Amino acid sequence: MKRLSGACAFIEALRCEGVKHVFGFPGGAVLDIFDAIMDAPDIEFILTRHEQGAVHAADGYARSSGKVGVCLVTSGPGATNTVTGIATAYMDSIPVVIFTGQVPTHLIGNDAFQEADIVGITRPCTKHNYLVKDIADLARVIKEAFYIARTGRSGPVLVDLPKDIMKDTIAFKYPDKVELDSYCPTYKGHLGQIKRIVDLILKSNKPVIYAGGGVIHSNASEELVNFARTMQVPVTTTLMGLGAFPSGDPLSLGMLGMHGTYAANMAVTDTDCLIAIGARFDDRVTGKIDEFAPKAKIIHIDIDPTSISKNVKVDLPVVGDCKMVLQGMLSQIREQKDEIRELHDHIRPWLECIDKWKKDQPLKYSQGSAIKPQYVIEMIDKLAPDDTIISTEVGQNQMWTAQFYKFQEPRLFLTSGGLGTMGYGFPAAIGAQVAFPDRTVIDIAGDGSIQMNIQELATVVQYNLPVKVMILNNGYLGMVRQWQALFYKKRYSQTSLAVSPDYVKLAEAYGARGLRVENPGDVKDAIQQALAIKGPVFVDFVVEPEEDVYPMVPAGAPINNMLLV
C-alpha cells in the first residue's frame, strides 16, 4: 500500500467525505497541507481574508446546502480568530469541521511561536474537538469529526493538526464506519409518547405548533406542513425556524418572541396545547418564563435530550429526530379521520380568533419622505427570484428581514440566532454562493455589522461571486440605539456611526459595483439593477435614521406585553 504524507492523507480523507469546497487562510503550521492542495484540483479552496470569515462562510455553506462546511486555518492567531465563528455555529447547531494547524508535537506546551491551546479554548463551543498526536489516528479522527458534526444535534467539530504529523507518512486507509460507544443519538421517538402527543392535540381546543431550527436541520419541513394542514393547527416559528413552514400559508403566525408578531405572541400566551418541535425555548422566545404559555400542556420534540425541560418544564417529552417523529405522528393520524374532523369543528373559533389578531395588529410601518428599511425588504422580497438565499447581519436589519421577508421554503434564510454575531451575514452569503453558484444570494446588512467583515469584498471579487449586499444605512448601531431610545432616555452613548465609509467608493476600490439610494422612489430600480449585474454589488440604502423595530417585548416582560407601532 502506498505511503502518504499526513498532508496528502488529509486531502484523501476530505475526498472520502465528499468535500468539494474548503474555506480558510494559510500559515506556517499548515504549509504542507496547502502544498498538497495544489495537487487536488477536485477540491476548491476559497481564500477568505480573515479566519472568522472562513468559519462563517463554511457555516453559510452548511446552512444553505445541508452538507458539512469545512474550513482550514493555521495555528496561533489563525486558530483563535475562528472562535467567534465556531461559537456562532455551536449556538445554532450548524455542522462545520474546523481544521487548525498546530506547532510540532514536541513543542506543544513550550509557548512556541504561534502556539495556542485551541482545543482548550474551543472546548466550551464545539460539539467535540481533537488534537491529533499520532498519524495513525488521523484517518479515524477525521472520519469521527464529520460523523459527529452531522449526526444527532449537529454542530462544529475542531481537529488540531500538529505540523510534524502532517510531515510524517502512513499507509493510508480510510475507515468504513465510525464506532463510538459513548455517542449514540436517538432518532426514532418512543411510539407510546408519539401516540400520547396525537391524543393530546386531538383533545385540545387551542393548539399551536412552535417550530424551530431543528425542523430545518432534520429536513422535516414537508412533514411539518402536512401535519399542520391535516390537523389545521396554526404554526409559529423561531428566528432559526423561518422557512420551515411557508409564511404565506393561512396557518402561519409568523415569528414569535421579542420581535414576533402580535398574533404569534398572543396565540402562544393563550394556547392550551403547545407543540414545540426542534426548538429550545430560548429567552428571546419565552420572555418572562413564569408567564410563557401559562395555560398550555407543553409537548417538546427534540433530538437533544439535554434541551428538554432545560428552560421550560414540559408535560410530554419525546427525544428523537424531528422528521422521524413527525412521520410517526402522521402515521398515527391516518387512522383517526373522525377524531380529526371533530378537532376541526371545535378549534374553528380558535382559528377565527387568530385571524382577528392578524387583522387587528398586522406588521406595519408608515412610509414618509425618507426610505423606510421595511420597504426595502418588502421590495427585495417582491423582486428577487423565489429561490433566493437571504443572509443577514445582526440587529435591526435582521429583525426587519425576519418580519417582512416572506420565507416560503427552508434553507433560504441564514442568520446568527443564538450568538447574534455582527459580521456573520456577508461571509455566510459567500458560503451559500459557493454552494449554489447559479442562485441569487443577498446579504441584508446594517452599516454597523457590514464593517465587521467587510474585507471579504476581496473574496467575492477574486472568485467572482455575485453576492448582492443591501445595506440599510441609518448611521447608527440601530438596535442598540433603539434600546437607548426606549430605556435610556435617548442617551445615545457610542451608537452614532459618525464616520462611515462611502460604500460605493469602497466597493469600487475592491473591484465590485456600488450603488447609493436616497429616495423611496428609486428603491425598486436600484434593486432591479443590482440583481441584473452579474458580479458582486453593494447597494447603500440611506434609510430613516431612527426607525425602530416593532412589535417589541421589553427584556424580562411576558411576550404578550408588546410595544406596538
- Residues that are catalytic: 51, 113-114, 163, 479
- CA separation, residue 425 to residues 85, 230, 445 (Å): 11, 36, 7
CA atoms of 408 and 564, how far apart (whole Å): 26
| Local structure of residue 68 (DSSP, 8 states) | P
Establish how many alpha carbons lie within 13 A of residue 388's alpha carbon, considering only the half-sphere containing its beta carbon: 23
Q: CB under 8 Å to 532, separation ≥6 — which residues? A: none
Cell numbers 465528499: residue: 18
**Joined grid coordinates for residue 125:** 463551543
CA atoms of 534 and 383, how far apart (whole Å): 16
Is the previous residue joined to 551 through a cis bond, with omega within 30 degrees of 0? yes
CB-CB neighbours of 488 under 10 Å:
12
Establish how many alpha carbons lie within 13 A of residue 421's alpha carbon, considering only the half-sphere containing its beta carbon: 29
| Local structure of residue 301 (DSSP, 8 states) | E
- One-letter amino acid identity for 152? G
CB-CB neighbours of 505 under 10 Å:
10
**For 129, phi and psi rounded to 5 degrees?**
-150, 160
CB 68 within 8 A of CB 130: no
CB 142 within 8 A of CB 10: yes
Cell numbers 482548550: residue: 120
CB-CB neighbours of 35 under 10 Å:
14
| Local structure of residue 43 (DSSP, 8 states) | S
- CA separation, residue 77 to residues 125, 156, 158, 380, 528 (Å): 17, 19, 15, 38, 41
Nearest CA-CA partner of 298 in 309, 286, 284: 309
CA atoms of 34 and 11, how far apart (whole Å): 10
CA atoms of 271 and 251, how far apart (whole Å): 15
SS3 180: coil
CB 391 within 8 A of CB 248: no
CA atoms of 240 and 281, how far apart (whole Å): 12
Which secondary structure element, helix H or strand E, spans residue 21, and what is its range? strand 21-24
Establish how many alpha carbons lie within 13 A of residue 547's alpha carbon, considering only the half-sphere containing its beta carbon: 27
**For 199, phi and psi rounded to 5 degrees?**
-60, -40
